[in-house]
Amino acid sequence: PVPVLAVVGRPNVGKSTLVNRIIGRREAVVEDRPGVTRDRVSYDASWNGRAFTVVDTGGWDPDARGLAERIAAQAEIAVSLADAVLFVVDATVGITDADEAVVKILRASKKPVVLAANKVDDQRTEAEAFGLWNLGLGEPYPVSAIHGRGSGDLLDACLKAL
Ligand code: GDP
Ligand code: MG
User: pLDDT tens across 18-40, in order?
Assistant: 999 999 988 787 765 555 556 78
User: pLDDT tens across 110-119, in order?
Assistant: 999 999 999 9
Q: How far is the CA of 8 from the centre of ligand 2 (A)?
A: 9
Q: Whose CA is nearest to atom 12 of ligand 1?
A: 14
Of the pLDDT bands very low, low, confident and very high (cuts 50, 70, 90), residue 103 is very high
Q: Does residue 80 surpass a pLDDT of 60?
A: yes
Distance, in Å, from the CA atom of 40 to the CA atom of 53, rounded to the nearest integer, reads 12
DSSP string, 75-134: HHHHHHT-SEEEEEEETTT---HHHHHHHHHHHHHT--EEEEEE---SGGGHHHHHGGGG
Would the annotation count 11 as a binding residue? yes
Distance, in Å, from the CA atom of 29 to the CA atom of 51, rounded to the nearest integer, reads 22
Query: Is 66 buried (19+), middle (13-18) or exposed (0-12) by CB count in 10 A?
Result: exposed
30 in contact with ligand 1, CB cutoff 6 A = yes
Task: Say yes or no: domain 4-161 is CATH 3.40.47.10.
Answer: no
- Which position has the higher pLDDT, 95 or 74? 95
The answer to whether 75 and 37 have CB atoms below 8 angstroms apart is no
Q: How far is the CA of 29 from the centre of ligand 2 (A)?
A: 6
Q: Which residues surround ligand 2, an ion (CB under 5 A)?
A: 15-16, 37, 58
Instruction: Return the domain boundaries, the chain.
Output: 4-161
Using only C-alpha atoms, the chain has a radius of gyration, in whole angstroms, of: 14
HSE of 42, CA atoms in CB hemisphere, 13 A: 10
Of 69-73, 128-132, 152-156, the range with the lowest mean pLDDT is 69-73
Q: Does residue 60 surpass a pLDDT of 70?
A: no
Starting at the edge strand found earlier in the chain, the sheet holding 113-118 runs: 40-47, 50-57, 4-8, 84-90, 113-118, 140-142
User: pLDDT tens across 36-48, in order?
Assistant: 556 788 999 999 9
- Which position has the higher pLDDT, 62 or 157? 157
